[in-house]
Chains A and B, each alone.
Chain A
Amino acid sequence: RKEVEQDPGPFNVPEGATVAFNCTYSNSASQSFFWYRQDCRKEPKLLMSVYSSGNEDGRFTAQLNRASQYISLLIRDSKLSDSATYLCAVNERGGFKTIFGAGTRLFVKA
């Protein structure tokens, strides 16, 4: 079993749609959680950290379910510019290294 698993997609959605991505992790001792965005042929950029209480940044909402060991990302009112690959990432307790999921590809179409 992979340490961090994501549905690879692709998700094809129209502009304005709401789309949700899930990510599961296998290490129950994981401490910190993140969502990154990676555009084609570019490096990943931090989108948001994920906190236990859930957190929101504009159209983006991230949630953590420790009991079920998954994190989610919700994108509301999708824009064409949201088209990218979304990577979830997990730090183990002690936070020495970050494990990335394979990413979920999103295509937002007009």
Chain B
Amino acid sequence: GAVVSQHPSWVICKSGTSVKIECRSLDFQATTMFWYRQFPKQSLMLMATSNEGSKATYEQGVEKDKFLINHASLTLSTLTVTSAHPEDSSFYICSARGTSQETQYFGPGTRLLVL
């Protein structure tokens, strides 16, 4: 299957700092990328959908000013958690889909711990 990478794989930061997570499709062009968040023992929750070159579409309840998404190229999307707080600590996973693909391919996820 297609390969999607995420960086960093884990990050620990102080409350109030901003954290950027990168998601890259390594062997295909991702016209659409998705960002999910998963708390322990809970389901994947879609945060936002981004299409290359356009603004992201956020799910209800997700603050677009807090979770900044940029999808500047067909292989890269970034999620920036601005002014992170302990309640933002979670497992953040991206996925990507190309124009001819029906399925999504997931990145390995980023564990964020905000102290």
Contact = CB atoms under 8 A, between A and B. Distances in A.
Interface residues of B, number: 19
Contacts of A93: none
Contacts of A98: 34, 46, 104
Contact of B43 (A34, A41, A100): A100
Nearest to B51: A96
Which has the most chain A C-beta neighbours within 10 Å: B43, B102, B104? B43
B107 A102 contact: no
Interface string A66-101: 000000000000000000000100010001111111
B106 A32 contact: no
Given A42-B109, A43-B108, A97 B43 contact: no
Interface residues of A, number: 20
Given A43-B106, A43-B108, A100 B34 contact: no
25 contacts: A32-B102, A41-B91, A41-B111, A43-B93, A43-B106, A43-B107, A43-B108, A43-B109, A44-B93, A44-B106, A46-B1, A46-B103, A87-B43, A87-B44, A95-B102, A96-B32, A97-B34, A97-B46, A98-B34, A98-B46, A100-B43, A100-B44, A101-B43, A102-B42, A102-B43
